[in-house]
Structure 1
């Protein structure tokens, strides 16, 4: 009996020792605070690759996270730190929303070894619309690898441990996995549970731009088109070639007879209206029209992105319930062409348009098909099932022939 009790006691002690927090000497090397003199190392663009929270509310939030992109930069006054965080959330397999935090912090004014940095102000937007936010936050930075950022973020209700990689090295998931044991060690040392971590999949796009790295070979083919002057996209366009990254998108494109779009400005300098009219094969007398109000994305360095603010859909003039959202990225192309990607909650499209009037020249379009495929490859789209306009199919609201374009009632 005493032997059995002793065995049980030893097993309990072993279990306790396994769950015990690491000793101080084990933690000291991995929890060194970043000295104030080295705070310049935080500036730049970062992608969250691993994170845990110390509270259930935070764990639930991380469970819905698809991607998180942050930027730290120093204002011209050399005192204010801009901390911009953009979080893309997914629920039920769909991109549910984008929440952006615009935070002001102040650089420490003394040369103390390290500081906890307080957030002076926080403005929040959800899908571009302001959100009331009354929480506060503090940030502690820690030493880590040269292309990494390690920090804790603490609010009144949440506490997070966050490991970032420099934007550009973020897609290397296998390399990230090699550091997971190190992340768990830091979590244990700082008192965080690590059984429910957020782990970036290396592919999820960010709120304001694609996550795909553009190679030097691809860069000339996918140069962002600046919308500093949005009139560069205004006018009437006809879709001549398109692919999708999703089976549902392939299926939809296979049914398209014609797609006509119009971009025009709205009174708000940052707002653009997209009107898209699609005729589908087998429903040549049926027209689906999308009326989309879009706005520029704040903080978009390339200024080539528009995000939908509202989408209204009609089928044959009758309203249709529509709950999706959209983000458009524009790229440079030929003078009478329009090149863009359109991302919904579930899939993406790559779309090549010709200016209305030059759209019937099918033979001329064919000469650009190899270029279209190259762009598709560079942006991560398959191109084996493209939609190709036949040069003749009429549009919802008018004939396709340039010489006879009477408006239909």
Structure 2
């Protein structure tokens, strides 16, 4: 039974977003889609121990959930049309000619739907992270630097608002893509970020989230090829993903950037990142616009990805790029990352001066973690140990906590 539970958990992690997206397209209600998917998951736990895991487990769950939707509608009045439509969907497949302006990917469709203008920007992102990214309310709260009850209420209100909106579950016309694009990009970016450095749990990297976010980014780039920020985000994810093989050791423990074996970096993926960043630059030139936040972050990632060694990294250029990023996308985290770059370029004292003036990171382990690193480089070991200890107590990721406690032991010795 334990093996089946692990299998179901693995299938759910990989397939949940696609199942909910497909059901939302069919039933027109994201809350109902989540409930149907959860009911199908219960059936899997009951049936698979005896019958075995189906060859296509995701399709099995989707089909069961659709049949539960039929049962649900059978109990309702005046829904014969919906019942017939879903029954046809189960039994037939219509082969339509490919339309480059039509969103064929169910998960991407769901992201665009959740980015409906009836919702606030924060609600759009929170709802999609929950439904599409599969992030918990606590994980989303950490991404927003907000409380868990606040995010839970935001998601609930968003679902109600979408249900009340007349066109809530209609995919927008291509002419409306640009109006929702910023929210869509934010969602894909945050899904990737949670996968790249998990905010909680026993794994530092949730590669299934990163893989799905990168896939969605590539699909989106083919859908809106003239948008610089789409290519910028794809480039950023390509560069970051290229380091996965070197980011953890054999036991899954994090390996810091300066200690990574760069021979293990995926050079083909780095080249894909370079090509995507060049497409972003070309799109910027065509539109006559400035560089956006994702393209600037991708340019920073390119500096790391193409440097032969940590010592050869062009930190001066990275500081300049962060200066631009602060202008277009100011945030405490961006300011903190810029402080790290300044410390690498001008010395830890210069970086610490910036860090000590930052606000807006209360409750985040990142600030004491960075401060501890800079204090350690200045030889202020007791203070550094205190900061690392405080950071370790604030993170919910076990792997991150181990790294921070190792740093405590190092500076105390």
| TM-score range for the pair, normalised by the shorter chain length | under 0.3
Larger % of strand: which? 1
From the two aligned structures, give the one with the greater helix fraction. Answer: 2
TM-score, structure 1 normalization = 0.26
What is the TM-score with the length of structure 2 in the denominator? 0.26
